[in-house]
Amino acid sequence: MSEGADHGGGAGAAAWSRGGSPGGDGFAPSALGTREHWDAVYERELQTFQEYGDTGEIWFGEESMARLIRWMQNHKIPLDASVLDIGTGNGVFLVELAKFGFSNIAGIDYSPSAIQLSGSIIEKEGLCNIKLKVEDFLNPSTELSGFHICIDKGTFDAISLNPDNAVEKRKQYVKSLSRVLKVKGFFLITSCNWTKEELLNEFSEGFELFEELPTPRFSFGGRSGNSVAALVFQKT
pLDDT in tens, 30-67: 666 667 777 777 778 767 766 666 566 655 566 889 99
Q: What does the domain layout of the chain look like in residue ranges? A: 31-235
Q: Is the CATH number 3.40.50.1780 carried by domain 31-235? A: no
The bridge status of strand 207-212 relative to strand 229-235 is antiparallel
Contact 30, 158 (CB under 8 A): no
Q: Residue 140: enclosing H or E segment and its boundaries?
A: none
Task: Kindly report the pTM of this predicted structure.
Answer: 0.83
pLDDT of residue 163: 78
Contact 145, 195 (CB under 8 A): no
pLDDT of residue 47: 76
pLDDT of residue 22: 44
Reply yes or no on whether the pLDDT at 216 is more than 70.
Answer: yes
Sign for the CA dihedral angle at 20, 25, 31, 37 comes to: positive
Contact 181, 55 (CB under 8 A): no
pLDDT of residue 15: 37
Distance CA 62, CA 70 (A): 12
Label residue 203 by pLDDT band (50, 70, 90). Answer: very high
- What number of other Cβ atoms are within 10 A of residue 25's Cβ? 14
pLDDT in tens, 111-166: 999 999 999 999 999 998 899 999 999 999 999 999 999 999 999 999 999 878 89
Distance CA 63, CA 41 (A): 23
More confident position, 178 or 54: 178
Region of 25 on the Ramachandran plot (φ > 0 left; ψ -120 to 50 alpha; else beta): alpha
pLDDT of residue 53: 63
Helices and strands, number each (H, E), in the chain: 8, 9
